[in-house]
A and B are shown apart, each in its own frame.
Chain A
Amino acid sequence: MKSIGVNRNGKQLPADIVVRSLDLLDMAAFETLLERDSCATKNG
């Protein structure tokens, strides 16, 4: 499972991507994270 952390103070969170706001999230972020998760599972 992948995660996106949202923290407007810019503090680090234990997530794969951390953004201050979801409007700053890359349009392909969700698909890209799932592809990475899928590949990691297949290779694991």
Chain B
Amino acid sequence: MSASRAVLWDMDGTLIDSEEFHWISWRNTLANEGITITREQFLSSFGQRNDSIIPRWLGAAATPESIERISKAKEELYRHLVRRDGIAPEPGVAPWLHRLHNEGWLQAIASAAPRANIDVVLEALSATHIFQGIVSADDVRRANRIQKCFSPPLPASAHRPGVALWWRTPLPVFRERVAPV
């Protein structure tokens, strides 16, 4: 059996530069709640899941309901910005995506972002057809558990901003717990 080759991509900061849209979304959503955050505060939380971030901003006022409400509003605003303004891939990403696709590499995304965000980004990039699998925040309870939703689990270094490569067959990433695109 010939070995399949696969690439597992992180999304924010690797596939796309989404920092500005996330910043605007957090800033405006929290402002509606009467909370002001600085860009530095935002950056210190960038890449983490909302249920980790929001309690930090709300403090003792955080409840499961308020976390859910703010998270939903923030992500809706983020997706609106991506749909309205589009989003560009990071430099060098588009040629690699298409080259690997054309050469028969399997490609997947493992991201702490909600699945709806990933779908909107892939649509904006016209890249939905390139990915055979997606793992999102919806698939794991905590971002640092993403490694464990693969069988065997990914090493801790796998979920950093970047790209991970597989050569094994069958590919564990595609075998279970990864929703087909």
Contact = CB atoms under 8 A, between A and B. Distances in A.
Please say whether chains A and B are actual partners in one complex. yes
A12 B90 CA distance: 19
A28 B14 CA distance: 19
Contacts of A38: 3, 167
Interface residues of B, number: 27
A20 to B, nearest CB: 9
Interface stretch (B66-74, B113-121, B150-158): B150-158
B37 interface: no
Given A21-B92, A22-B92, A3 B5 contact: no
Band of interface residues on A: 20 to 34
B135 to A, nearest CB: 15
Given A22-B91, A25-B92, A3 B164 contact: yes
Contact of A1 (B90, B91, B100, B155): B155
Contacts of A30: 5, 7, 100, 105, 165
Contacts of B14: 6, 22
A6 B157 contact: no
B165 A22 contact: no
A1 B147 CA distance: 12
Contacts of A21: 90-92
